Each structure stands twice: as structure tokens, then as C-alpha cells.
Amino acid sequence: MNTNYLESVIKQFEYYKMLGEKTFAQIPDEKLFWQYHADSNSIATIVKHLWGNMMSRWTDFLTTDGEKAWRKRDAEFENDISSRQEMMHKWIEGWRVFLDTLKSLKSEDLEKMIYIRNQGHTVLEAINRQLAHYPYHVGQIVYIGKMCVEQWNSLSIPKGKSETFNTEKFSKPKESGHFTDDFLNPENNDTK
């Protein structure tokens, strides 16, 4: 069961990573830095925060506290990234560190104790903590992205296409698989 959990959770995170990347692809460079007001975050700022969290939490994950002394969390919320390339570098680096660490874990690691700001978590709890945190911010990215473009291309089942999608799904035999397979594997994608 624990191996299935790790495989499933990795697919979940890869799905949210893909949603972010499909959002970035739809919006012009200048909109990556747009803020609704001074106290809100731009897409680039959210990416910077995710990067900081991923680098801190998942570097030396099993052996050091997840809140590294070198992390400057407050600076993550300064809207100072200057280009799409800089933002994408942080996005790619953060996800690489995070996913490489997840993929290196074994089922027996899930009950090990790690610490975040001296608070103990099992590895399973730490993963679940991020499974709530990262999609929360990716959802913000998608929402801001949808506000920034005239013509939005749906990232899942397009509005008004649920019946068609369901008809296609129910026309096939029952199967076992992860729901993200349709979205992460384009050759299986029924949503286009």
C-alpha cells in the first residue's frame, strides 16, 4: 500500500506542476508580475515562494529540519523576479529538488520522523502537508492566469464539455488507473 501511495502522490504533484506550466504557457510575460493590489501576490511571487519552500523542505529531507537557516521566507513575497526565464528557473529547480526527493523515498521511509521548525512529522504527514500547500498555490496561479488572458484554454474538462467527457469515459470498460493519466499522458487525453 505504501508503494502505491508514493506512486499516487508523485502523480498528483506532477499533475499540479503541469497545471502551473500550462498556465504559464497561456499568459504574456508582463502578466507574470501583475498584482491585483499591493498586498496580493503575482504569479512570479507565488512561484518564488513555492521554490523557497521546496528548496528548504526537501533538501536533506530525512536528516535536517525542513525550515533551513538559509531560507529567507519573507523575501519570497517580494515581487522582484524580473523575467520569465528567472521565474521558470526557480519553478524548475524547486520541483526538481522536491520530486527527486519524493522519488527517492521507499515505503519504509513513510513512518520515519522528520522536523519542520522543530515540530515532528512522519514523512507521510510531511508529504500530505505539502499535498495541501502546493496545490493551494498552484490554484492561485491558475486563477490569476485566468484573469490575465482574454481567451483561456481549459486545463481540465472545458466548460460545457462534461457530458461529452463522461459519455466517452462511460463508453469504455472499467479500468484501474490514476485519474491524472488522462492529463499527464497526451495520447490518453480525452479532454481535447
Give the lowest-confidence range in 7-11, 56-60, 188-192.
Answer: 188-192
In the structure, what pLDDT confidence band is assigned to residue 2 with cuts at 50, 70 and 90? low
Residue 100 in this model has a pLDDT that exceeds 80? yes
| CA distance linking residue 180 with residue 104, whole number of Å | 21
Residue 35 in this model has a pLDDT that exceeds 70? yes
User: From start to end of the chain, where are the E strands?
Assistant: 113-116, 119-122
pTM of the complete model: 0.90
Mean pLDDT computed over every residue of the chain: 92
Residue 185 in this model has a pLDDT that exceeds 80? no
Percent of residues in the chain assigned helix, strand, coil, to nearest 5: 60, 5, 35
**How large is the C-alpha radius of gyration of the chain?**
18
In the structure, what pLDDT confidence band is assigned to residue 142 with cuts at 50, 70 and 90? very high
Can you give the pLDDT at residue 192? 39
| CA distance linking residue 2 with residue 122, whole number of Å | 13
Q: Are 50 and 91 in contact (CB under 8 A)?
A: yes
Domains and CATH numbers, the chain: 2-153 (1.20.120.450), 156-192 (no CATH)
In the structure, what pLDDT confidence band is assigned to residue 176 with cuts at 50, 70 and 90? confident
